[in-house]
Chains A and B, each alone.
Chain A
Amino acid sequence: MSGTTAHPRLESWRRGLYRFRQSWVSVLGLVIVMVLLVLAVGGDALAPYPQHVAGMVDTKARLLAPSATYWFGTNELGQDVLSLVIAGSRISMLAGVAVVVAGAAFGVFVGAIAGFFGGWLDEALMRIADLKLTVPGLILAMAVAAALGPGIGNMIFAIALSWWPGYARLVRGEVMAKREETFVVAARAMGAGNARLLWRHILPNILSPIIVKMSLDMGFAILTVASLGFIGIGVKPPTPEWGSLLSVARTNMPDYWWTAIFPGLAIFLAVFGFNLLGDGLRDLLDPKARR
């Protein structure tokens, strides 16, 4: 049995890989994302000076330029910037993933209900989403942080709150289109209930655009997390996070450029990598390219 199961799936994976590899930029994106994931998972273990991450201060080695000992130089506390950037990837990636997953989950739920049932329910949900879109995400996040107090959990909640309407709108449109497809009508003629229609027939067929949007959003979510860190909401030092590293280092510019450049570069690479990956995934998952 397993032989026949493996074959067609493997075949479609191989086709997908073939198409993915046609574009080297998507491969580059995948590589960047993989490296960041490894760093995020490895964290302290991969850092050359894990004691610096834990908060050790080395006054003898303050603000040293990049060298063979300290590849990215050291900061005003004598901590190795490379170690801090590596350790910071964990918080940034985790927060980014959490924001996107939470936002997508809620948005898909709202969008699916609105698109499937239509009518006044659709109107009501979409007006709420519109209302949400009128409040800038960063301002809302600051308001939430002010109300609930700073902290990583509150920060994720605050950003996800401003993230879901995008998914709700995307999913609503896709569900409305799929609802009229023949195979959905066929299932209805068979007597399938609403839950079955949504879960078994409609949602699995709109996964591709959701996955693509999630991977494109990952970069922006990381950027938003960093901006909140930069303005001092969210993760507090000494827990290293790219945004707050940048925030502390901005007083060192321009003489001690390395303390700011490397965390900034990490943010840039993460956004860049996830965007390239998202573009590649879109080509890969586009149903029109499918046979």
Chain B
Amino acid sequence: MPAPLTNDEILLEIDDLNLTMRSFEGEIQVLNGVTFSVRRGEIWGIVGETGSGKSLTGLSVSRLVPTPPGRYLRGAVRFQGRDMLAQTEETMRTLRGRRIGMIFQDPTTNLNPAFRIGTQLVDVALHAARLEPSLLGLEAGASRRARRKAAEKHAVAMLEKVGIPNAAARLRDYPHQFSGGMKQRVLIAMALIGRPDLLVADEPTTALDVSVQAQILRLIHGLVGEHNLGVLFITHNLGVVAQLCTHVAVMYAGAIVESGTVREVLKNPRHDYTRGLLASVPTPSMKRGELRGLAGGALAAEPLAPPPPRAEPGPVVLSVENVEKHFAGARRGLFGREAPVVALQDVSLSIRRGESFGLVGESGSGKTTLTRCILQLEKISAGRIVFDGIDLTSHSAREMQALRSRIQIVFQDPYASLNPRMTIRDIIAEPLDIHHGKIGLTPRQRTDRAAELLEQVGLGPQHLNRFPHEFSGGQRQRIGIARALAPKPDFLILDEPTSALDVSVQAQVLNLLHDLQSRLGLTYFFISHDLGVIRYICDRVALIHRGKLVEQGETEAVFTNPRSDYAKMLLAAMPDPDPDRSPLLRA
């Protein structure tokens, strides 16, 4: 086992890296002179938005960018002094997973569902041990059996290290028996099994809940201290960078615009883009409409929308009264069923006309089930849902039809929620066709109304004949909003409308939502797991945990003075984009 060298050994040096990708449009330069170096004990955060080249930088480290279509024009990636771009594929295989550990975004797709966790870990351990027998503490000529046994012991030790309780017994479990956070821990254990010197983590916490994210960040931070690793941590989340990283490189359009220690960069950003990125993250001190966005890679000169005046909230428009929702349990045997799954338990809340009501919860907490119940896409098991004096649950499908135009929804994923085979005009005009079919709009009127709606969300009539795949995520979400506004609703459910978007785009969409609320007098039911966004946009907020509301009240009151343990835990886990507030870095 190589003794850890001096503390400031340069592990990874990327020098003027230029990468192009061939595609239908010709060759596109995707990395443009990327230069930085990582020493042992340093955690480098690579931040950037979609398409900035941060993932390709990470992949280049272990030369996992396929060539072709990729082509390195010039530059070098040196790992412990060796130029990775000049190594043979054979050498690369001995480095990957051995000297360089990698963790990816989605823990569910990175474990083979057909094999036990133990089998997968032991495989990696045996592979690593073939190159370095001392890893398992065995002689070179040890028997197969002995090797396997030692590898298993090593795997258990690793699982314990990443905080999996009862590790020895869990080796027999399959991936689906682990939660998302636990799977990510298994993958981290797998990455660490060959005792790597460098860990490349590509958005390892993006798919996880904030509370789990906080645990994983603490874990990585602990491992760096213990094993004197270097870490390349790729993320779009400035909060996470501020919490965990010692250094940061900000990427934009394939180039690093600014890099340095995390305090230098986040406290005193020198580059416009960094300033813009920081100004796009909602923080507690911001007032409505104060978020600034990015315009062409630089800070927008003005806040995106001047805070418009808004009418005082009126009487209660939607009240959810003691709602319960049970799903039938899984079939067991020929006739039996398991106990029903309780998705919502005694949920009561009331939303006033013209306000923004936030619902915060982690995955599986029941927030999406609640929206589906309000929309009457699911029948509730008990309780009442009253909208503007009308009990929705006692209505027939036909009567509900008329009410649907008043309650509309914007979905989380702008890529999946628009029909890929329809033009934007048809998508936006569809609610009109459904609800005003009897009035019979002429094609001209239909087009005019669609164009008007597009202008309301900041797009233009030139987009009418395009298809969804020609638009960016933010533009698609605007189209989704325009569609929701088409039947002139007064109540809008926003189901994580910005969580699939980059922060700068999120800022624009949030400001657009503010603007629309003031002008159209809409009521928002805003669902999110992002506390910063909730605080920025909502007047009142409710927290849901395992199907039960644990706390509700005025947003400011809940955020400054949380009463339930769950609220306290969530607030503590929320990554703050201020490095001085990081419990990890302070330590």
Residues in A lying within 8 Å of B, measured CB to CB:
1, 4-5, 8, 12, 15, 18, 181-183, 185-193, 196, 200-201, 204-205, 287, 290-291
Contacts and interface: CB of A to CB of B under 8 A. Distances in A.
B465 A4 contact: yes
Nearest to A204: B421
A190 B434 contact: yes
A200 B375 CA distance: 21
A182 B431 contact: no
Contact of A191 (B405, B418, B422, B483): B405
Contacts of B5: none
A200 B422 contact: yes
B377 interface: yes
Interface string B392-421: 000000000100110011010100111111
Given A8-B465, A8-B466, A8-B467, A183 B408 contact: no
Given A8-B466, A15-B24, A181-B416, 6 more contacts: A182-B411, A186-B480, A187-B430, A189-B377, A190-B483, A204-B422
Nearest to A186: B417
B404 A205 contact: no
A183 B24 CA distance: 28
A205 B421 contact: yes
Contacts of A191: 401, 404-405, 431, 434-435
Nearest to A184: B419
A181 B320 CA distance: 27
A40 to B, nearest CB: 31
B423 to A, nearest CB: 8
A60 to B, nearest CB: 61
B430 A190 contact: yes
Interface string B417-458: 111111000000011001100000000000000000000000
B577 interface: no
A5 B464 CA distance: 9
A187 B408 CA distance: 10
Contacts of A183: 416-420
A186 B408 CA distance: 9
B575 interface: no
B377 A182 contact: no
Interface in B24-76: 24
Contacts of A15: 24
Contacts of B176: none
Contacts of B418: 183, 186
A291 B434 CA distance: 30
B487 interface: yes
A112 to B, nearest CB: 16
A227 B222 CA distance: 72
Most chain B CB inside 10 Å of its own CB: which residue of A185, A189, A192, A200: A189
A287 B422 CA distance: 15
Contacts of B422: 200, 204
B469 interface: yes
A1 B465 contact: yes
B470 A189 contact: no
A1 B241 CA distance: 48
Nearest to A290: B469
A12 B24 CA distance: 11
A119 to B, nearest CB: 14
B87 interface: no
Contacts of B413: 182
B7 interface: no
Most chain B CB inside 10 Å of its own CB: which residue of A1, A183, A185, A205: A183
Contacts of B408: 189-190
A15 B23 CA distance: 10
Contacts of B431: 190-191
A192 B413 CA distance: 20
Contacts of B464: 4
A189 B404 contact: yes
A5 B465 contact: yes
B462 interface: yes
A187 B430 CA distance: 8
Nearest to A3: B465
Contacts of B416: 181-183
A8 B434 CA distance: 27
Contacts of A193: 434
Contacts of A1: 465
A181 B420 CA distance: 11
A190 B492 CA distance: 12
- What are the nearest 10 A-B pairs in CB distance? A191-B404, A182-B416, A204-B421, A182-B417, A183-B419, A5-B465, A4-B465, A190-B431, A189-B375, A186-B417
Contacts of A181: 416
Contacts of B417: 182-183, 186
A191 B413 CA distance: 20
Contacts of A187: 419, 430
B155 to A, nearest CB: 34
A191 B407 CA distance: 10
Given A5-B465, A186-B411, A189-B375, A18 B24 contact: yes
A79 B483 CA distance: 67
12 contacts: A5-B465, A8-B467, A12-B467, A18-B24, A182-B416, A185-B411, A186-B480, A190-B434, A190-B483, A192-B434, A205-B419, A291-B469
A186 B409 contact: yes
A4 B466 CA distance: 8
Nearest to B415: A182
A192 B419 CA distance: 13
A193 B462 CA distance: 30
B418 to A, nearest CB: 6
Most chain A CB inside 10 Å of its own CB: which residue of B377, B419, B420, B469: B419
Nearest to B495: A182
Nearest to A287: B420
Contacts of B421: 204-205
Contacts of B487: 190
Contacts of A189: 375, 377, 404, 408-409
Most chain B CB inside 10 Å of its own CB: which residue of A4, A191, A201, A291: A191
Contacts of A192: 430, 434
Interface string B464-485: 1111011000000000100100
B246 to A, nearest CB: 37
A181 B411 CA distance: 11
A13 to B, nearest CB: 12
A192 B437 CA distance: 11
Nearest to B493: A189
A192 B426 CA distance: 13
Contacts of A182: 411, 413, 416-417
A210 B526 CA distance: 40
A4 B487 CA distance: 26
Nearest to A14: B24
A20 to B, nearest CB: 12
Contacts of B465: 1, 4-5, 8
B401 A205 contact: no
A185 B413 CA distance: 12
Contacts of B405: 191
Nearest to B23: A291
Nearest to A193: B434
Contacts of A4: 462, 464-466
Most chain B CB inside 10 Å of its own CB: which residue of A1, A12, A182, A187: A182
